[in-house]
Each structure stands twice: as structure tokens, then as C-alpha cells.
Amino acid sequence: MKKCLLLVNSYKADSVEMAQKIKPYLESRSIEVEVFTYDGKHAQNKNIEPPFEGMDFVVTLGGDGTVLFASRGCAPLGIPVFAVNLGEFGFLASISKDSWQHELEQFLAGNKKLSSRYMVSCRVIRDGKTVFQGRGMNDVTVASSGASRLVNLNVYHDGAFLGPFKANGLIVATATGSTAYSAAAGGPILCPSVKALLLTPISSFSLSARPIVFADGMLEIRVMAERYPVDISIDGQVGFDLEQDDIIELEIPECCARLVGATENTFYAALQSKLNWSGGPRA
């Protein structure tokens, strides 16, 4: 390990101060450190491109959103993400701010397990041409731009018509993203190592619409006649405006996000501590 990018989300308290501790520590280990600071609160809809190319690993100082931001750029380059948690949930940023030095020592010594997380890629086809493409670690959402407005979407899986969906929108989540927006919309929680795409309707007009888990293959969402604007959102951080007759193709890409310390043990511990998933006295 010779070169590190320190990704600092300045919106999180203590992130800049912690970066000032981690940077000299790494430099004392003869590791070249580049610091990239951004405001996570105002990052959406801005073309922020950290210099991931050429890095051996990335240290993120923020929350799970900072990990999502880093992983989209690091995954295709195979760069591991060492995520220090300064946020709330810590499903992805599993390293506490009090134990960063010990955990970093273990990582640099090769004693930390890397967790591979499947992602979801999407591209928007308009009039036969690709007008947008991206990759997410949590989910891709197709929904009305306004609150509580129905959209009409036709959904296909590997060419097979699943049916029309009239809802506020649809979430296509990874196993990692099953604990995020999809869970809030009533979707199931998947083990993070599962290679799958989870389709979850948002406030469906039909009570028969239920979440569906797909082992693999291509999901296709077609935007039907709309009265209101519809857009696509990746990880809640990257957006694109859709038009009638747009086709959104979604699948699992070959590249995976590589996280340091985010094991299944830490995942289940987060479920218990963050979501109070502990059962009752007789459970």
C-alpha cells in the first residue's frame, strides 16, 4: 500500500479534525496521502469527481452516504474502501472513530477481511440511444419528481412482461440496499452477500403489488404516458430527468464494491443495534 485518498465529508462533525490525525499517521508509514474534501449535504446534482485513479485504497470520513459516494468510483477500479463511521447507521461505515488506528494497522498488515458487495448498473435508452448511465451500490429509483404522484411504469425481466405498475415509483435495490429505501417501502432485508436485484413498489395503487427478488438477469422499466415529471435517482445522490417512452435497463455489473471490515457479523450487529432488531423477552 503506497498511495491513499482520504475522502472527507465536511458536513459530518469531526471529519476534518480526524483527517488531520489520519494523514500524518499514514505518512509516518511511508504512504502518500491525498486529501479530497467535499460537502456531502450539497453534493447531489454536482459533478464531483474525486481522484480515485491510481489509489491503493480510500479512507472515507463520513457516514454510509460517503461510502456510497466512494464505492461508485472505486468499484470499477478494484479499490478497497476503509470506511470510518461519523454518521448514524453504520451499515457500511462500520469502523468507529475511536478504533480507526487499530483497524487501520490491521488492514495495512493484511489482517482485515474485505467484503465484496454487488452493485446495480443502469442506463437510460431514449429513441434508441443511451442518454444516461450510472452505477449504484444501494439502489436505483424511478419515481415522480413531485410528492404523492402516481407514475405508470411497465416492467420486464429478461424480456418477460411482469406487468404495469401504477405507484409513486419503483426501487431496484441490491442486497446491500435492501436495508435502505427499499426497507422503508416495505421490502425484505437480504443478506449482503446475496447476488440479486430487489424490485420494490413505492406506495402502489394496487394492493397486490409486492416486492420481487430476482437472482440475476436484466430488468427493464419503461416510462409510460405521464402527467407529471419522472426522474431516476442512484443511491439518492445522482439524478436524471426521464421522458415518456424512456427505457431503463438495470442489471448486476461485473465489478463489486470492496469494503474493509463490513462483514456479515457487523451487518447483523447493525440490524440489532440500529434497527432494534432484538426481539422480545420470549423471542
Q: How many residues does the chain have?
A: 283
Residues acting as catalytic residues: 64
Instruction: Output the pLDDT for position 42.
Output: 66
Kindly report, residue by residue over 22-40, the tens digit of the pLDDT.
999 999 999 999 999 998 7
- Label residue 88 by pLDDT band (50, 70, 90): confident
Instruction: Output the pLDDT for position 241.
Output: 94
DSSP 8-state assignment for residue 241: E
Worst-scoring range by mean pLDDT, 109-113, 171-175, 194-198?
109-113
Residue environment code for 245-269, b if the CB has 16+ CB neighbours within 10 A, otherwise e: ebbbbbbbeebbbbbbbbbeebbee
Determine how many CB atoms are found less than 10 A away from the CB of residue 145: 15
pLDDT at residue 283 greater than cutoff 80:
no
Query: What integer is the mean pLDDT of 177-184?
Result: 94
Query: What integer is the mean pLDDT of 46-69?
Result: 92
pTM given for the model:
0.92
Instruction: Output the pLDDT for position 279.
Output: 60
- Label residue 281 by pLDDT band (50, 70, 90): low
Kindly report, residue by residue over 207-253, the tens digit of the pLDDT.
778 999 999 899 999 999 777 889 999 999 999 999 999 999 999 99
Instruction: Output the pLDDT for position 84.
Output: 94
Kindly report, residue by residue over 250-262, the tens digit of the pLDDT.
999 999 999 998 7
Instruction: Output the pLDDT for position 244.
Output: 93
Query: What integer is the mean pLDDT of 51-74?
Result: 95
pLDDT at residue 201 greater than cutoff 90:
yes
Of all residues in the chain, the percent with pLDDT exceeding 90 is 74
Listed residue (237, 238, 236, 234) closest to 250, CA to CA: 234
Average pLDDT, the chain: 91
Kindly report, residue by residue over 143-154, the tens digit of the pLDDT.
988 767 889 999
Of all residues in the chain, the percent with pLDDT exceeding 70 is 94
Residues in a beta bridge with 125: 130, 247
Instruction: Output the pLDDT for position 226.
Output: 72
